[in-house]
Amino acid sequence: MALLLDSDDAPSARWRPLARWAAWAAAAAALLAFPLAAGGFLTHTATLVLLTVIGAAGFHLILRVGLVSLGHAAFAGIGGYTSVILMMTFGLPWIVCFVAGGVSAAALALLVGPIVLRLKGVYFVLITFTFGEILRLIFNDWQSMTGGANGISHIPPPWPALMDTRAYYYLALFAAGAAILFCARLLASDFGRKMDAIRESESLAEANGIPVFAVKVIVFAIGCTLAGLQGSLQAHFIRLISPLAYSFQESLNFLVMNVVGGSNSLVGPIVGTVFLVALPEFLRGWVEYQFIIYGVILVVVMAALPGGLVELWQRACRWITSLSTRSGR
Amino acid sequence: MLDFNGVSISYGAVRAVSELSFAIEPGETVALIGANGAGKSSILKAIMGIAPIRHGSIVFENGKLDGLRTFQVVRRGIGYSPEGRRVFAATSVIENLHAGGHILPRPQVPARLAQVLDYFPRLRERAHQASGSLSGGEQQMLAIGRALMSRPRLLLLDEPTLGLAPVMVQHIGEVIRTVQAAEGFAVLVAEQNAVWALKLAGRGIVLEVGHKKFQGRSQELAQDPVVRAAYLGTD
């Protein structure tokens, strides 16, 4: 991840690994200490951010093979409902329900993926949008199972101890860390190179012997699995699950997080999620202006920073290096 | 090693190639020449599983190719450099070559990469440059180098000289000949520049609107008055 943030021409290459380790250690310490310093509201918001990062990273993977899925939130819903129903109706232990949440999203993605992935570009967007809305209607109308439009409330936390927001923060931190690490390793692997090749040109990737279709199905399934896991963790955190949370607007939010943060590196969705989940929580006093503020930010980012907020950071780095080399001469 | 048996290729109602048959022997170079729309590119695309075959069959080393996906054809041992010197423009030269080496067993990749860079010293100089910033000739070398990465036994080149400066055209021809001499693969080249293609190839097939018009040894074709007048522009 950090690789993607570095500018290529920094002169102090020798200090870089050390600096990188220091930065990672500082970030980890800050994340670990956060709930101790921050109040309940901030910790609650931070936990939401961490959970959303998991789904946003899944969306990012799919985006990295050039696909936008507007059914992403619905896959989170599949994971959430599966997990909650298994726990509340069948009394299974949480860890089983959590895994089942991921597996059900994966299974559905493997079932649907080979069909919808035959479509490209805007047609893929439309079919995933349709599919997501169908799932949302099922959540809404299958009263006996899903509680209908009211959803299911009083969802128990994974363990009684996790009733405490601070405790849940650490679970979310661990889960988000694991998800990000997994995605980073995947993107840096040979498989990740295949993904990049596909995003740049499917026909050329195919001409290099890359099984484009199979790679896309696998990536779609992995991305949806992450969404499903997020759905499970989130439902047990806010202790309420309802169809509203899995509409296509939520999928659109995942897209906006990636675009605002930057869609070329995994850092993008992380930055974007912090921005888009935390911001509304702090803008609650100005609810009526919330979407206007959103809209302005989105337009500014797309017009001035096509690489997202990550690009702002890269530009700043380049500017600082150019300053330091100039003063050095 | 490659047999084209009565192959017809059509795009919807439009027939690009009609019942064409020819064969390629191991290690030889065959040129497909003809005007725009003669069906040269379609033949290469049919081999790669990109263009749909309506009749006939394509056999490579005793295995049928029709019905296979493009990536499967590559895995059978056929390298393909598509028309328009297509490269992954945003990525570096090295990464482009790596992409071409996907089907090799992983430990073999570094050695093969070094070998391909030996064939194209210009690419070594530009190794870490973004491919989109290369000159047209360098991009063509990269497209060919990428196709070579998978150690193909048959190399398909679609219009390798299109839009290149004359010096570069000559240079590309020399490189192809050198590498072929070293590795012994067969080449099927589709080319509008008939003079160049017949110099490179041992045999030529002249196409006209999807039909085989002439075929024969390159020297004979180059001296045939009809071919000279129509395709070589020398009379």
What are the residue ranges spanned by the domains of chain A? 31-246
Chain B residues close to A203, C-beta within 8 Å: 50, 70, 82, 86
- The DSSP secondary-structure symbol of A287 reads G
Which residues on chain B are in Cβ contact (under 8 Å) with A210?
A: 71, 99, 102
- CB-CB under 8 Å, A209 with B71: yes
Question: Which range in A166-175, A264-273, B218-227 is most confidently predicted, on average pLDDT?
Answer: A166-175
Residues of B in contact with A200 (CB under 8 A): 88-91
- Interface residues of B toward A, Cβ cutoff 8 Å, are 48, 50, 69-72, 74-75, 80, 82, 86-91, 95, 98-100, 102-103, 106, 146-147, 150
C-alpha distances (whole Å) from B80 to each of A146, A265, B77 are 53, 30, 10
CATH label of the domain that carries residue B109: 3.40.50.300
* Higher-scoring residue by pLDDT: A24, A327: A24
Question: What pLDDT, on a 0 to 100 scale, did the predictor assign at position A179?
Answer: 97
Closest residue in chain A to residue B149, using alpha carbons only: A208
Q: Give the number of domains in chain B.
A: 1
- Measured between beta carbons, which residues in chain A are less than 8 angstroms from residue B150? 208-209
Neighbours of B3 (CB within 10 A): 18
Nearest alpha carbon to residue A126 among A298, A134, A104, A227: A134
* Radius of gyration for the alpha carbons in chain A, expressed in angstroms and rounded: 20
Which residue among B82, B90, B106 places its CB closest to the CB of A207? B82
Contact of A207 with chain B, judged by CB distance below 8 Å, is answered with yes
Amino acid identity at A99:
V
Q: In the prediction, which pLDDT does B155 show?
A: 96
For testing contact with chain B, the best of A8, A208, A210, A216 (most B CBs within 10 A)? A208
Between B216 and B113, name the one with better pLDDT.
B113
A206 interfacial to chain B (CB closer than 8 Å):
yes
Question: Which amino acid is located at B101 in the chain?
Answer: G
Q: Distance between CA B58 and CA A185 in Å, rounded?
A: 41
β-strands B211-217, B203-208 pairing: antiparallel
Inter-CA distances, A264 with A200, A256, A267, B97, B128, Å: 12, 13, 8, 21, 19
Average confidence (pLDDT) over A4-11: 48
List the Cα angle A86/A91/A96 in 5-degree steps. 55
Residues 6 or more apart whose CB falls under 8 angstroms from that of B188 comprise B2, B24, B29, B30, B32, B43, B44, B47, B154, B155, B156, B157
According to the model, what pLDDT value does residue A7 have?
47
Q: Which residues of B touch A196 (CB under 8 A)?
A: 88, 91
Structural tokens at position A202: 């499917």
pLDDT at A60: 96
Helix, strand, coil percent content, chain B, rounded in steps of 5: 40, 30, 30
Residues B74, A207: C-beta atoms closer than 8 Å: yes
Question: What DSSP string runs through B11-38?
Answer: ETTEEEEEEEEEEE-TT-EEEEE-STTS
- Chain A nearest-CA distance from B120, in A, is 19
Residue B83 has pLDDT above 60, yes or no: yes
Q: B103–A206: do the CB atoms touch at under 8 Å?
A: no
DSSP A197-230: HHHH-HHHHHHTT--HHHHHHHHHHHHHHHHHHH
Which among B48, B89, B91 has the least Cβ separation from residue A207?
Answer: B48
Sheet of B203-208, strand order: B78-81, B154-158, B186-191, B29-33, B203-208, B211-217
Distance in angstroms (rounded) separating the CA atoms of residues A62 and A54: 13
Distance from CA of B15 to the nearest CA of A (A): 23
Residue B20: strand pairing partners: B7
User: Which residue range(s) make up the domain with B16?
Assistant: 2-232
Burial letters for A116-142: b for 16+ Cβ neighbours within 10 Å, e otherwise? bbeeeeeebbebbbebbbebbebbbee
Does the beta carbon of A196 lie under 8 angstroms from any beta carbon of chain B? Answer: yes
Q: What is the pLDDT of residue A12?
A: 56
The pLDDT of A82-107, averaged and rounded, is 95
Task: Give chain A's end-to-end CA distance (angstroms, integer).
Answer: 32
Q: Do B87 and B132 contact (CB within 8 A), yes or no?
A: yes
The string of pLDDT tens digits covering residues B116-138 is 999 999 999 999 999 999 999 99
Output the pLDDT for position A278.
82
- How far apart are the C-alpha atoms of A177 and A270, rounded to whole Å? 11
Asked if B90 lies within 8 A of A200 by C-beta distance, the reply is yes
pLDDT score recorded for residue A13: 63
Average pLDDT of chain A to the nearest whole number: 88
- How far is residue A260 from each of residues A160, A170, A181, A254, A315, measured CA to CA in Å? 37, 26, 21, 10, 15
Estimate the share of chain A in helix, then strand, then coil, as percent rounded to the nearest 5: 80, 0, 20
Q: Nearest residue of A to residue B87 by CA position? A: A204
Whether residue A4 has pLDDT greater than 70:
no
Mutation test of the interface with chain A: which of B69, B70, B129, choosing the one with the most A Cβ atoms within 10 A? B70
Residue with tokens 């484009």: A212
**Helix A309-328 and helix A248-261: axis angle, to 10°?**
10
Tell me the C-alpha to C-alpha distance, in Å, between residue A208 and each of A183, B104, B154: 24, 11, 14
The answer, yes or no, to whether residue A8 has pLDDT greater than 80, is no
Query: Chain A: residue nearest B50 by CA?
Result: A203
Size of interface A-B (CB pairs under 8 A): 59
A188-194: long-range contacts (C-beta < 8 A, 24 or more apart)? A188/A3, A190/B102, A190/B106, A191/A215, A192/A64, A193/B95, A193/B98, A193/B99, A193/B102, A194/B102
**A272, pLDDT greater than 70:** yes
Q: Is the CB of residue A208 less than 8 Å away from at least one CB of chain B?
A: yes
The average pLDDT across A130-152 equals 92
- Cα-based torsion angle of the residue sequence B87, B90, B95, B99 in order, rounded to the nearest 10 degrees: -50
Nearest to B102 among A201, A210, A213 (CB): A210
Question: A132: closest CA among A287, A243, A56?
Answer: A243
Contacts of B30 (CB under 8 A, 6+ apart): B22, B24, B186, B187, B188, B189, B201, B202, B203, B204, B205
Average pLDDT of B164-190?
Answer: 93
Q: Of A108 and A252, which is predicted with more confidence?
A: A108
Tell me the pairing of strands B186-191 and B154-158: parallel
Q: Which residues of A touch B88 (CB under 8 A)?
A: 196-197, 200-201, 204
* Interface mutation target, options B71, B74, B75, B76, chain A, most CBs of A under 10 Å: B71
pTM, to two decimals: 0.86
Contacts of B103 in chain A (CB under 8 A): 208-209
* ipTM reported for the complex, 2 dp: 0.84
SS3 state of residue B157 = strand
Residues A269, A267: Cα–Cα separation, whole Å: 6
Residue A289 has pLDDT above 90, yes or no: no
pLDDT of residue A291: 73
Instruction: Summarize the confidence of residues B203-220 as an average pLDDT.
Output: 86
Angle between helices A40-63 and A165-188 (to 10 degrees): 20
Q: Which residue of B has its CA nearest to A199?
A: B88
The alpha carbon of residue B127 is apart from the nearest alpha carbon of chain A, in Å, by 15
Contact B102 A207 (CB under 8 A): no
A210, B69: Cβ pair inside 8 Å? no
pLDDT of residue A328: 54
Cα dihedral A218, A224, A226, A229 sign:
negative
